[in-house]
Chains A and B, each alone.
Chain A
Amino acid sequence: MALFSRLLEPLRQRMRGWMRKRQGDDPDPVVLGSRRIYILPTALGLGFAGMLFLMMIGAMNYANNLALGLAFLLGSLGIVAMHHCHRTLAGLKFALATTHPVFAGQRARFAIALINESRQPRPELELTDDSLTSEPVRLDAAVGEPTRAVVEIGHPAERRGKVRLDRFEVGTRHPFGLFRAWAVLHMDLECIVYPRPSERGLSPPPHETDVGGAQDGPRGDEEFAGLRPFHAGDSPRRIAWKAYARGRGLQTKQFAGTTVISHVFDWDSLEGLGVEARLSQLCRWILDAHAAERAYGLKLPGVNVPPNVGDAHRQHCLTALALFSG
């Protein structure tokens, strides 16, 4: 079987090239037109057809009309099933969903949203990245609301940077497994791969840049000091919801006495290490600082991220590491 599929590989390559040329790149979102859905009988479908053929020959030989009628009924049921199979994909809408980045060594995951705008459910869908090694993702597209599917590419994302999913396939064998309809989509899907964090051990240099709050009053933290505009990453607990309700926009409560000690993790402090090792180390520090809920900044050649806290900040910093080219 493996040999067989390897022999077929050049043919598959050509098919891919042909489909790409025929269909072009897909926009986001894209609706599957019925002209780009392919459909073929499965092995089971061929078996079913063979059975019907034998039934027909037998019925004709016995000149048995009812048996012939059974063969014809099952035959046209097969045709109806073929149309249903095709329809299960036609008109399905695909959109890119937020893809969560991974660390090098993990599998890249691409999130795709399936939107079924029709009034009928579309069951038994299979999403696969078309590599022979990966298991397809099976799901049903519910009516109306987007259904999210995550396609994992078969081999781990070894290197930091961006992994693109050139193409993915959506298929179905609904309703009887006699036919398989499928379509190939070329959407611009990418997944950020952060550097692999290095082992714990090396602590960051004590490079404090911004120590604030200590002089703000003797009564310690948790004293309300005023409002400032909301920034991404601020804790929801600190949002001034009452002010928001009055229509003054999102504001964050500031408290006197909050001790803010922030580190700036600096590329230059890691002299003597290779590029990837440096990035891995910076990645480790960022993760630790984020876990400890400490503020941190990042300095890379050509990149300077001021200290901050929060998930968005973490993502920003890690993305800078992932895409660093220096």
Chain B
Amino acid sequence: MNHFIRQLDDQTQRLLWVVSALALSLLPHVTHVPIWIVLFAAATAAWRIAAQMRGWRLPPKWLRIVVVVLAVVSVLAGYRTLNGLEAGTALLVLMAASKLLETKDRRDLTVLIFISFVLLFAALLYEQGLLQLPYMLVAVWLLTTMLMRVHQTTSRMAMGEAMRMTAKMLLLSLPLGVAFFVLFPRLPGQFWALPARAGATSGISDEISPGDVSELSLSSGIAFRVTFTGSAPPPAERYWRGIVLHDFDGRTWRRARGRFSTTPSVEASGPEYDYRITLEPNNRNWLFSLDLPTRWPVTRAFQSYDFQLLSPETISSPTSYRVRSHTQYTMTSDLPTMQQNMDTALPGERNPRTRELARALKTEHPDTLEFVQAVLQKFRNEEYFYTLEPPRLEADSVDDFLFNTRRGFCEHFASAFTALMRAGGVPARIVAGYQGGQYNPMGDYFIVRQSDAHAWSEVWVEGRGWVRVDPTAAVAPERIEQGLDAAVPEDEPVPGRFFGGNGMVLNLQLAWDALNSGWQNNVVEYNDTLQRSLFSNLGIDDIDWRSLGLLLTASLAVFFVALSGWLALRFKPRPKDPAAQAYAHLCRKLGSGNLVRRPHEGPVDYLTRVGTARPELRADLDELRALYVSLRYGPLPMSAQLSRFRFLVNRLKL
């Protein structure tokens, strides 16, 4: 292959390299643009290379114009706009492909390289993963090399040499690039609104039917990461509150949309937990927080009457926010009647056996807390099983679960428990979120995965307010204390179980996740807040854009000085030999006495001339002349001669 490439002429080689650089920046877009655009680009590239090799004529101008017009029209037809990331990318790819058709001189190749840079940029707008960084650097390296080679006319540099040269230049430019990245003032918010990108929703959905959470638990995908400032709560208190479900139709629990009510006043006690959550994009608008959030960023979220944290926008990119929570709390106000009615409602004729059981238990235990204990006792003492693979349930799902299958996941227990409470006249609701999380010692944070998805209940107890009751804990206390893996039978497909016993794989996974999390938190999420806290860590409080601008200018100046110094060093003339240096010194000395050496004068002629002009120096000059001739042209120059020469030069008085 190498041999083959070497045989090609210069122009063909350049074309091949530029096409491959273009391909490298196009590759990340293969999934973003319609397949016909990818095929069109591949076809034009293949045709252009064939045309180059076979010497075909390039298409006439009118044909190229037709192709460009068709491209614009088809993008317009497909996207209804030329604005926005998707349409822009598609148009750019088409432009690059049509540019290939007419590529013949340096200018065309340069335009292609510039388009490739922009494509690379667009790829980063789609995704900013950690793996994007090395890919980007390699692509920039190749593109830069191409840019240099395209502009070479006389120097015949091998590809490897050119790559080395651009690598050096990129390494040199890295410090300033990093300085700009850190120092450049970040603005909160956008300049102009862009059409939001629709993405697939993931994670906990806004309604729960039996089997939903267990299905979600099969995914090892990451829901969010949590970094605690200070201590973390004990495992049994790691309930990550998400949404609250009120409406029950006998099978499915739903959120109460469009209803507003007063928020009960909360009296928190015990330790306050301060933490930052980085949420993976799920294209929903609820935020998770440790039950119960007491302080949250008011610009980013608001709290509903049932203590859900809601974001005004859907979470379509990784988002991080800081929250403070208390795990121990009571409520001092009364339950509004509207909420009371909502949370005791049950669909009329569904689940009759459940109602009957509830009525019996409630008569036996009129106190709310005792009633709760009685139901939990039932789950604990009777034959109920916690499993990831629950059997399908009939239409009256609670009856079927409580009296027939008796095997279920958290949502089965929460659903049955909440229905029992409501049937007994106790206000109850379901909270969906996550429970637990894996500690990553390498980054000192917790990873909460989809497999930690959980559902539990809240009941209203007079005098205490909403009390969290987790019926799953009654059946499978290991789930709460140790996680899913410890709680479900050995043969069930818990995500990550296969590697569970392997320490090295687990450690590698954790290390990789820590790296990703660090990347996400410090680079991708780097914003005005992080910038300010970075500088306050360095002792500069409340840095504003003026001081940042000053620092930027300073770093630019330092970079200029350092770079030109370094280049001057590299371009320094080769050192002369010591005798020539001493002679140059002598010439400088004599030159200051108006006896400048003429360009054509050799040492012998020059020193003779000076000797004639300055007879008082003649003896020394004669000796210097003899020494110099012997030093430069003699068979074996001796260091004694050199030091004598230097001595005489130094002694010379003009």
Name A's B-contacting residues (CB within 8 A): 27-29, 44, 47-48, 51, 55, 57-77, 79-81, 83-84, 87, 90-91, 117-121, 123-125, 138-140, 144, 173-177
**Chain B interface mostly helix, strand, loop or mixed?**
helix
What is the CB-to-nearest-CB distance from A184 to chain B, in angstroms, rounded to a whole number? 21
What is the CB-to-nearest-CB distance from A171 to chain B, in angstroms, rounded to a whole number? 13
Q: Point out the residue from A44, A69, A80 that lies within 8 Å of B169, measured CB to CB.
A: A80
**Which residues of the partner chain B approach A140 to less than 8 Å between Cβ atoms?**
154-155
**Which residues of the partner chain B approach A125 to less than 8 Å between Cβ atoms?**
154
Beta-carbon contact of A29 and B599 below 8 Å:
yes
Knowing A62-B194, A76-B176 touch, does A70 contact B151 (C-beta < 8 A)? no
Beta-carbon contact of B570 and A120 below 8 Å:
yes
Beta-carbon contact of A175 and B148 below 8 Å:
yes
Q: Point out the residue from B114, B132, B190 that lies within 8 Å of A51, measured CB to CB.
A: B114
**Which residues of the partner chain A approach B165 to less than 8 Å between Cβ atoms?**
175
List the 10 closest pairs (A to B, CB-CB), nearest first.
A76-B176, A123-B155, A76-B173, A177-B151, A117-B573, A73-B177, A72-B180, A67-B124, A118-B571, A77-B173
Distance, CA A177 to CA B190, complexed state (A): 34
**Which residues of the partner chain B approach A69 to less than 8 Å between Cβ atoms?**
177, 181, 523
What is the CB-to-nearest-CB distance from B196 to chain A, in angstroms, rounded to a whole number? 12
B190: nearest residue on chain A (CB-CB)? A61
**Which residues of the partner chain A approach B571 to less than 8 Å between Cβ atoms?**
87, 90-91, 118-120
**Which residues of the partner chain A approach B636 to less than 8 Å between Cβ atoms?**
none
What is the CB-to-nearest-CB distance from B140 to chain A, in angstroms, rounded to a whole number? 7
Name B's A-contacting residues (CB within 8 A): 110, 114, 117-118, 120-121, 124-125, 128, 132-133, 136, 140, 144, 147-148, 150-155, 157, 165-166, 169-170, 172-177, 180-181, 184, 186-187, 190-192, 194, 523-527, 559-560, 563-564, 567-568, 570-574, 599
Beta-carbon contact of A74 and B140 below 8 Å:
yes
Knowing A60-B187, A61-B190, A79-B176 touch, does A51 contact B118 (C-beta < 8 A)? yes
B153: nearest residue on chain A (CB-CB)? A138
Knowing A68-B184, A72-B181, A76-B180 touch, does A59 contact B110 (C-beta < 8 A)? no
Distance, CA A29 to CA B175, complexed state (A): 38
**Which residues of the partner chain A approach B190 to less than 8 Å between Cβ atoms?**
61-63
A115: nearest residue on chain B (CB-CB)? B573
Interchain Cβ contacts under 8 Å between A and B, 26 examples: A29-B599, A51-B114, A55-B121, A62-B125, A64-B128, A66-B128, A66-B132, A68-B184, A70-B140, A73-B170, A75-B176, A76-B173, A76-B174, A90-B568, A118-B570, A118-B574, A120-B570, A124-B153, A124-B155, A125-B154, A140-B154, A144-B574, A175-B151, A175-B166, A175-B169, A177-B150
Q: Point out the residue from A119, A139, A174, A176 that lies within 8 Å of B572, measured CB to CB.
A: A119
Q: Point out the residue from B132, B152, B564, B573 that lies within 8 Å of A123, measured CB to CB.
A: B152
Beta-carbon contact of B120 and A57 below 8 Å:
no
**Which residues of the partner chain B approach A48 to less than 8 Å between Cβ atoms?**
114
What is the CB-to-nearest-CB distance from A146 to chain B, in angstroms, rounded to a whole number? 14
What is the CB-to-nearest-CB distance from B278 to chain A, in angstroms, rounded to a whole number? 14
Q: Point out the residue from A64, A83, A84 that lies within 8 Å of B124, measured CB to CB.
A: A64
A121: nearest residue on chain B (CB-CB)? B155
Distance, CA A91 to CA B564, complexed state (A): 13
- Residue of B110, B154, B574 with highest tally of chain A CB at under 10 A: B154
Distance, CA A124 to CA B162, complexed state (A): 14
**Which residues of the partner chain A approach B169 to less than 8 Å between Cβ atoms?**
77, 80-81, 84, 175
Beta-carbon contact of A177 and B110 below 8 Å:
yes
**Which residues of the partner chain B approach A139 to less than 8 Å between Cβ atoms?**
154
B169: nearest residue on chain A (CB-CB)? A80
Beta-carbon contact of B567 and A51 below 8 Å:
no
A42: nearest residue on chain B (CB-CB)? B151
B180: nearest residue on chain A (CB-CB)? A72
**Which residues of the partner chain A approach B177 to less than 8 Å between Cβ atoms?**
69, 72-73, 75-77
Beta-carbon contact of B524 and A65 below 8 Å:
yes
- Residue of A48, A58, A139 with highest tally of chain B CB at under 10 A: A58
B115: nearest residue on chain A (CB-CB)? A51
Given contacts A64-B125, A123-B155, 18 further A-B contacts (CB under 8 A): A51-B117, A62-B194, A66-B136, A68-B184, A70-B124, A71-B121, A72-B181, A76-B173, A76-B174, A76-B177, A83-B560, A87-B567, A90-B571, A124-B154, A175-B151, A175-B166, A176-B151, A177-B110
Beta-carbon contact of B151 and A68 below 8 Å:
no
Knowing A55-B121, A60-B191, A73-B140 touch, does A83 contact B570 (C-beta < 8 A)? no
**Which residues of the partner chain B approach A120 to less than 8 Å between Cβ atoms?**
570-571
What is the CB-to-nearest-CB distance from B161 to chain A, in angstroms, rounded to a whole number? 10
What is the CB-to-nearest-CB distance from A44 to chain B, in angstroms, rounded to a whole number? 6
Beta-carbon contact of A72 and B121 below 8 Å:
no
Distance, CA A57 to CA B181, complexed state (A): 14
- Residue of A29, A62, A77 with highest tally of chain B CB at under 10 A: A77
B175: nearest residue on chain A (CB-CB)? A76
What is the CB-to-nearest-CB distance from A143 to chain B, in angstroms, rounded to a whole number? 9
Distance, CA A80 to CA B166, complexed state (A): 10
**Which residues of the partner chain B approach A73 to less than 8 Å between Cβ atoms?**
140, 170, 173-174, 177
Distance, CA A76 to CA B560, complexed state (A): 10
Knowing A58-B121, A63-B527, A176-B144 touch, does A70 contact B154 (C-beta < 8 A)? no
**Which residues of the partner chain B approach A144 to less than 8 Å between Cβ atoms?**
574
A143: nearest residue on chain B (CB-CB)? B574
What is the CB-to-nearest-CB distance from B142 to chain A, in angstroms, rounded to a whole number? 13
Beta-carbon contact of B117 and A74 below 8 Å:
yes
**Which residues of the partner chain B approach A59 to less than 8 Å between Cβ atoms?**
121, 124-125
**Which residues of the partner chain A approach B174 to less than 8 Å between Cβ atoms?**
73, 76
Distance, CA A130 to CA B575, complexed state (A): 34
**Which residues of the partner chain B approach A121 to less than 8 Å between Cβ atoms?**
155
**Which residues of the partner chain B approach A87 to less than 8 Å between Cβ atoms?**
564, 567-568, 571
**Which residues of the partner chain A approach B114 to less than 8 Å between Cβ atoms?**
47-48, 51
